[in-house]
Structure 1
Amino acid sequence: MPESGSTTGSPTTRRQLLARSGAVGIGIAFSGALSELFTGTATAQDLGHSGYGPLLPDPDGLLDLPEGFRYRVLSREGDPLRSGEGPVPSNHDGMAAFAGRHGRVHLVRNHENRATGRVPVPVIDGLTYDPAGKGGCTVLTLDSRGRVESERVAIAGTAVNCAGGPTPWGTWLTCEETEDKAGTSGYTTDHGYIFEVDGADPRRTGAVPLTAMGRFQHEAIAVDPKRGVVYETEDAFERPFGLFYRFLPEKPLGGTGSLRAGGRLQAMRVPGVPDLSSIQETGARFDGIEWVDVPDPQAVTTPIRHQDFGPKGITHAQKLEGCYWGGSSVYFVSSFARSADGSAGDHYGQIWRYDPDRRRLTLVIVFGPDTDVQLPGESPDNICLAPGGGLMVCEDGNGAQHVYGVTRRGEVYAMARNRQNTGTAEEPEYGEFAGVTFSPDGRTMYVNCYTPGTTFAVTGPWRR
């Protein structure tokens, strides 16, 4: 998920990693069973070798797209919220679109504001967890023609709302990517939780932390629609690295009440594999995956990843970020690993698949340097399934920033390029993309530019 490395000086981005190896500008190659990742309707004819064609320069200097596609700016940071609650907050991040009544779409959007966020989420009575928190979510409601009908605060007073994920019952789980406790950065209560947000009626869900789901540096979630199990990734920035979790709710598949009712938090143990980065071969398969109860989900004195999981230990991985459910399995992403940081091995990205029916973990995709310097793609971050087949992936690094697509055959193509230069003509800088998602009917792609916070709606011949 957005590392904020290019804007706040936090962890090393993948472009910086490539720069140290002399590989800046190199694209991404994929090896592995790509076809199993995709659930769209396209066939082997989808998109060919050039995607939707070259990106055309935007005369307005905002967003370059292929011919036949167009965009609308739905919202920009600093502009007034239509609710009158204050300005649109900054640091637009994870996002999802939900179907509303009469053709409406509720677009729930994270704001990854830290204690020093440029434009904080306005404090709203009944929707605020900690008045000292600057993060949260806003929701844009679009009418049946895609026009913004309303824009308001959905939850406030949270911190570093990075990613999350949708639930099968139509709510958004927003994740705090922090472990800061009360007294840190002026906070009045502990942070590091998941909160549920109802885009249609935010006051129904309020600002209640789902404490049983753990307190750690959350990144993303995915829900098993059959069992109601919630899978969670942890994007820890230093050793010991993050864990892959599952939450077993006491009352599965019931919406707000079920998750608030509590449950068990467990961490994944791959027998004989203390660090996933040590596995480099696609197709590597591990059966008999174990799930171990987390000793202290609230991390009262010790962060979870530091806790004692017994003599067999637990399995860690660097930069665990994206997470989504596809078919009968959950997929999760390790963006990169560096032995110099303490990982067991080096890679440019992995996608893992866990099949709960077989208790089987498989390394599906490995990202690696490619020789075609014309391709975009480094520091892949937010990811979503495209309605026409394949994936859409947000780029998070330095230099030019893209949304790029990956077809079933592993072909990488540029879908969009951010043209908003926040630097100078001599030293340009561009904000990362985040929160890529599609409307329920698959006709519109929504995506955020992290900074300056901008939400775009992109339409065009998605299924051609």
Structure 2
Amino acid sequence: MSATRRQVLARSGALGAGIAFSGALSELFAGTATALGHSGYGPLVPDPKGLLDLPKGFRYRVLSREGDELRSGEGKVPGNHDGMAAFAGRSADRHSGRVHLVRNHENRNTATLAVPTVEGLTYDPMGKGGCTTLTLDERGKVLGERVAIAGTAVNCAGGPTPWGTWLTCEENEDKAGTNGYTKDHGFIFEVDPADPHRTGAVPLTAMGRFQHEAIAVDPKRGIVYETEDAFEKPFGLFYRFLPNKPEGGCGSLRAGGRLQAMRVPGVPDLSTIQETGATFDGIEWADVPDPLAAQTPIRLQNFGPKGITHAQKLEGCYWGGRSVYFVSSFARSAEGSAADHYGQIWRYDPDARRLTLVIVFGPDTDVQLPGESPDNIALAPTGGLMVCEDGEGAQHVYGVTRRGEVYAMARNRQNIGTPEEPEWGEFAGVTFSPDGKTMYVNCYRPGTTFAVTGPWRR
């Protein structure tokens, strides 16, 4: 939350305790475990080590911190820890309890802790972003940590595929010769968590060149949904990629496909929709004229007389049940949106071609409690959501139960400001182990990866 917005909220009386939250939560959690019967796991207990506050009975371990040496000997652990996912070890691996944790590094060209370049895994030697992987044993002990892809730029989020790979997204659209880069950026790359050299550093160009944020894959149709977090008006679009090989498999997306953008008839800007449950039928998908954006960014291209639908801060994206869900972290009219909000979650049902506004977030009475700017988001084994907060003030991972109860699950205690003016880095990359017993989450700055265990309810 910017200082300007904080001041505006304070004057309007919007700052205070809790969260103004509404939504059709039963839609979100269809097919998941029974939700918590009450709001969370109790109050957060201050951490004497000053790293991570958790409810009583929960514990954390620090798996990795920026600046430490990678166990592979390839260099130092990069900074700016962002999107992340956990994958079970391969069935052929006799250590069946192993977990591969793939982690993005949202490094720009000014980063001081770049992802080390590795032969066969580097796209552009001048790019400082990429991914690293941690391999954990059945007890959660770190066995290895290595570079998975390097030479990319501003790797923000991404998403897992049904065939067990990670799609890492560049939130950047600089072209070769810009900001020191030697190749065009703004692509998605596939990463094999167990064997990164199997996937290498190959851009999936047919999936579009734009400021990517996250993806979700329809496991039945193989369609990949993509969000765009564009910083200036016109804001980003919501896309789908129709692969030429919908059956999937590692490397299948290199075969190309068709990129389309969502059009909601009569709605040029999603921020104008404010009521949860608002539903739009007959959603259309328009072919992207130039997916490589050779001359013009996609969001500025001509989609014909009907236009196209934009939204500010399109971020988290995930598949649940029979639908894809995507997040708009906030919208600010002062920055060009048609209306203001503090966070939305949308649901698109491809069978019905129906779009529904499911959740609206917003601060109520205490800015120290969670409730605005949802970012990375994940379905939890508890039968609800875990959401990473990305604003100012205190930063939380917070949960949302099926009943609409919002509770703080974790609070970052690492002060990156001063004692007089404290500042806390955002959370990112919340995800769960394949057995559902461990929550992994990143602190963006200083880059820290945590494993959280405790009495999770099912």
* TM-score when normalising by structure 1: 0.94
Percent identity, aligned pairs only, is 84
Q: Deviations over 1:135-183 (max 9, x none)?
A: 0000000011100000000000000000000000000000000111111
SS state at 1:260 partner: helix
Q: Deviations over 1:398-439 (max 9, x none)?
A: 221111111111111111111111122111111111000000
When structure 1 is superposed on structure 2, of 163-172 and 31-40 the one drifting more is: 31-40
1:305 partner amino acid: R
1:34 partner amino acid: L
User: Residue 38 of structure 2 corresponds to which residue in structure 1?
Assistant: 48
When structure 1 is superposed on structure 2, of 30-39 and 317-326 the one drifting more is: 30-39
| Residues 376 and 16 (structure 1), Cα distance of their counterparts in 2 relative to 1, 3 Å cut | farther
SS state at 2:334 partner: helix
Q: Following superposition of structure 1 onto structure 2, how do residues 198-217 of structure 1 map, counting pairs within 5 Å? A: 198-217=192-211
User: Residue 99 of structure 1 corresponds to which residue in structure 2?
Assistant: 88
Provide the rounded CA distance (Å) in 2 between the counterparts of 1:289 and 1:155: 36
Shift of 1:256: 2.9
User: Residue 394 of structure 1 corresponds to which residue in structure 2?
Assistant: 388
Provide the rounded CA distance (Å) in 1 between the counterparts of 2:66 and 2:116: 12
SS state at 1:259 partner: helix
User: Residue 180 of structure 1 corresponds to which residue in structure 2?
Assistant: 174
Provide the rounded CA distance (Å) in 1 between the counterparts of 2:366 and 2:419: 26
Indicate yes or no: 2:222 matched with 1:234. no
Provide the rounded CA distance (Å) in 2 between the counterparts of 1:127 and 1:436: 25
* TM-score when normalising by structure 2: 0.96
User: Residue 56 of structure 2 corresponds to which residue in structure 1?
Assistant: 67
Indicate yes or no: 2:138 matched with 1:144. yes
2:375 partner amino acid: D
Which residue of 270, 273, 276 maps to 1:279? 273
Q: Following superposition of structure 1 onto structure 2, how do residues 297-446 of structure 1 map, counting pairs within 5 Å? A: 297-371=291-365, 375-446=369-440
Q: Deviations over 1:270-327 (max 9, x none)?
A: 1111111111111111111110100000000000000000011001111111110010
Would the aligned equivalents of 2:264 and 2:280 in 1 still touch at CA under 8 Å? yes
SS state at 2:361 partner: strand
Gaps of 5+ in 1: 1-12
Provide the rounded CA distance (Å) in 1 between the counterparts of 2:49 and 2:363: 33
Provide the rounded CA distance (Å) in 2 between the counterparts of 1:26 and 1:255: 47
User: Residue 19 of structure 2 corresponds to which residue in structure 1?
Assistant: 28
Provide the rounded CA distance (Å) in 1 between the counterparts of 2:168 and 2:121: 14
SS state at 2:434 partner: coil
SS state at 2:64 partner: strand
Would the aligned equivalents of 1:40 and 1:388 in 2 still touch at CA under 8 Å? no
Which residue of 240, 255, 261 maps to 1:261? 255
Provide the rounded CA distance (Å) in 1 between the counterparts of 2:3 and 2:97: 41
Would the aligned equivalents of 1:377 and 1:402 in 2 still touch at CA under 8 Å? no
Provide the rounded CA distance (Å) in 2 between the counterparts of 1:127 and 1:430: 33
When structure 1 is superposed on structure 2, of 427-436 and 260-269 the one drifting more is: 427-436
| Residues 87 and 24 (structure 1), Cα distance of their counterparts in 2 relative to 1, 3 Å cut | farther
Would the aligned equivalents of 2:222 and 2:243 in 1 still touch at CA under 8 Å? yes
| Residues 304 and 374 (structure 1), Cα distance of their counterparts in 2 relative to 1, 3 Å cut | closer
Would the aligned equivalents of 1:15 and 1:397 in 2 still touch at CA under 8 Å? no
Provide the rounded CA distance (Å) in 2 between the counterparts of 1:188 and 1:387: 43
Which residue of 54, 65, 81 maps to 2:70? 81
Provide the rounded CA distance (Å) in 1 between the counterparts of 2:146 and 2:431: 19
Shift of 1:372: 5.6
Shift of 1:377: 2.8
Q: Deviations over 1:249-270 (max 9, x none)?
A: 0011322332000000000011
What is the total number of aligned residue pairs between the two structures? 450
Would the aligned equivalents of 1:64 and 1:419 in 2 still touch at CA under 8 Å? yes
1:431 partner amino acid: G
1:93 partner amino acid: D
User: Residue 6 of structure 1 corresponds to which residue in structure 2?
Assistant: none
| Residues 341 and 256 (structure 1), Cα distance of their counterparts in 2 relative to 1, 3 Å cut | same
When structure 1 is superposed on structure 2, of 417-426 and 300-309 the one drifting more is: 417-426
SS state at 1:29 partner: coil
| Residues 374 and 127 (structure 1), Cα distance of their counterparts in 2 relative to 1, 3 Å cut | closer
2:431 partner amino acid: T
Q: Deviations over 1:192-215 (max 9, x none)?
A: 000000000000000000000000
When structure 1 is superposed on structure 2, of 33-42 and 134-143 the one drifting more is: 33-42
2:61 partner amino acid: R
Would the aligned equivalents of 1:14 and 1:378 in 2 still touch at CA under 8 Å? no
Aligned Cα root-mean-square deviation (Å): 1.4
When structure 1 is superposed on structure 2, of 282-291 and 252-261 the one drifting more is: 252-261
Indicate yes or no: 2:1 matched with 1:19. no
| Residues 15 and 213 (structure 1), Cα distance of their counterparts in 2 relative to 1, 3 Å cut | farther
| Residues 252 and 157 (structure 1), Cα distance of their counterparts in 2 relative to 1, 3 Å cut | same
Would the aligned equivalents of 1:55 and 1:65 in 2 still touch at CA under 8 Å? yes
| Residues 433 and 374 (structure 1), Cα distance of their counterparts in 2 relative to 1, 3 Å cut | closer
